[in-house]
Structure 1
């Protein structure tokens, strides 16, 4: 309701400004106006201009923070992975940072996927990274899937949810789930890389050979494993790249590879 009132006020004030401009350009008697309060032209138009500016800002804020958005945001507790479909600028800018609508294909670990949108401010670096095909964790409300929030990928519960999603989607081999969830990370280097030709959920499967240097002082050893990676991460897993190998105590034959050092989640 407030947004409609602001729109009506803004349109009325815009019409007054248009009348003032036309009278200034084409009016014969500049001392008279169709609008009585614009007879004192300087004072009248200043007042109209101030209120026009206030109503413009009010409409922008109303569009940026729609009704019930705060209440709905607090109910977005479920975590899923979203793949960016498209990004569009809304036209609003706050402190020179533009606002975007980011449309995503959201894939919960335990349900059907759906299309949703996140509206937020993105600086230049974030806008460049928000390209179609990129994935990021989101929070959503199963009862209202029309909008989502971007989740903090460093939060422990988000990292766990991402891992559970990868397991559910088959992006971690069943025999490597224990290594990935309960294993200890050790430094390693990539010796060989071979794509298998398998693609899943936008990820590429690789067969890897790693040279592992255990943290416990044991001798280096060569291991083989399989991993699914996003195409944009492939340049970080080339021959010679530093990575990490994870395995459970007593199960050094089952090794999972990670680009960053990960901690056990179970």
Structure 2
């Protein structure tokens, strides 16, 4: 509501300034005007209105950005959103630019929809919101325009993201148990070969890893993984990664790029 009122005031001031400029440039009788607060010897009103217009332009958007998003109505579900477009809004707050993220959300019932997220992103965060990157999304069943990024520190959110990958065949069946509950250890990439298989915008890689649990003897293991093309730079020969392996079968290894905290 506040944003609507501020926008309406800014539009009224914009119209006043446009008419004032038009009358100054093209008016025949400069002594009369259709505008209120305008007289032959009055310059105070245009100056005041111009300053107010500029302040609203500068800070009105900031205020709108700081107003919390409306709470999601009704029942909410978790889904996976893939970023399809990122664009700047032109607004900055404390030198941090604001962006619109358009995401295609794969809902729990198998349907898809596109929604928008508006947020402030510093230069470090911008690299994590490139097109194609998946995000955990919490959405309202009653209003698909009401979405937010779910907290990956929440164990239920991590589980939902993992379920999504398993359901879409992005984790080989033989690796599911290791990926869900295997022991975690640092590893390094020894070799890499693309298989040519693509799925959900990701490419499949065959990897040989050197698994090196702390305080134990290291070993080599072969595995497969699907990654987004944007993440290939982090899965090269020599790259440090993480492995999840079965205690009873340490050569059954699922790879993750980031360390995963225990639920």
The TM-score, its normalising length taken from structure 1, stands at 0.79
- Is 2:172 the partner of 1:173? yes
Aligned to 1:119: 118
Distance (Å, rounded) in 1 between the aligned partners of 2:51 and 2:64:
20
Could you tell which deviates more after superposition, 240-249 or 7-16?
A: 7-16
Q: 1:235 to 1:19 in 2, by over 3 A?
A: closer
Q: 1:261 to 1:134 in 2, by over 3 A?
A: closer
* Superposition pairs of residues 1-266 of structure 1, within 5 angstroms: 8-25=8-25, 33-35=33-35, 37-39=37-39, 40-53=41-54, 56=57, 60=61, 64=65, 69-72=69-72, 77-108=76-107, 110-127=109-126, 129-217=128-216, 219-265=217-263
How many residues were matched structurally?
Answer: 262
The TM-score, its normalising length taken from structure 2, stands at 0.80
Q: Hey, which of these two has a bigger chunk of helix by percent?
A: 1
Give unmatched runs, 5+ long, in structure 1.
none
Distance (Å, rounded) in 1 between the aligned partners of 2:252 and 2:124:
38
Distance (Å, rounded) in 2 between the aligned partners of 1:55 and 1:213:
58
Does the 8 A contact of 2:132 with 2:228 survive in 1? Answer: no
Q: 1:62 to 1:194 in 2, by over 3 A?
A: same
Does the 8 A contact of 1:139 with 1:149 survive in 2? Answer: yes
SS in 2 for 1:101: strand
Could you tell which deviates more after superposition, 46-55 or 207-216?
A: 46-55
Does the 8 A contact of 1:182 with 1:264 survive in 2? Answer: no
Does the 8 A contact of 1:180 with 1:264 survive in 2? Answer: no
SS in 2 for 1:188: strand
Does the 8 A contact of 2:194 with 2:205 survive in 1? Answer: yes
Does the 8 A contact of 1:185 with 1:263 survive in 2? Answer: no
Q: How far 1:237 sits from its partner (Å)?
A: 2.2
Distance (Å, rounded) in 1 between the aligned partners of 2:117 and 2:60:
19
Does the 8 A contact of 1:109 with 1:164 survive in 2? Answer: no
Distance (Å, rounded) in 2 between the aligned partners of 1:8 and 1:212:
62
Q: How far 1:18 sits from its partner (Å)?
A: 3.1
Give unmatched runs, 5+ long, in structure 2.
none
Could you tell which deviates more after superposition, 247-256 or 1-10?
A: 1-10
Q: How far 1:157 sits from its partner (Å)?
A: 3.4
Q: How far 1:171 sits from its partner (Å)?
A: 1.2
Does the 8 A contact of 1:99 with 1:122 survive in 2? Answer: yes
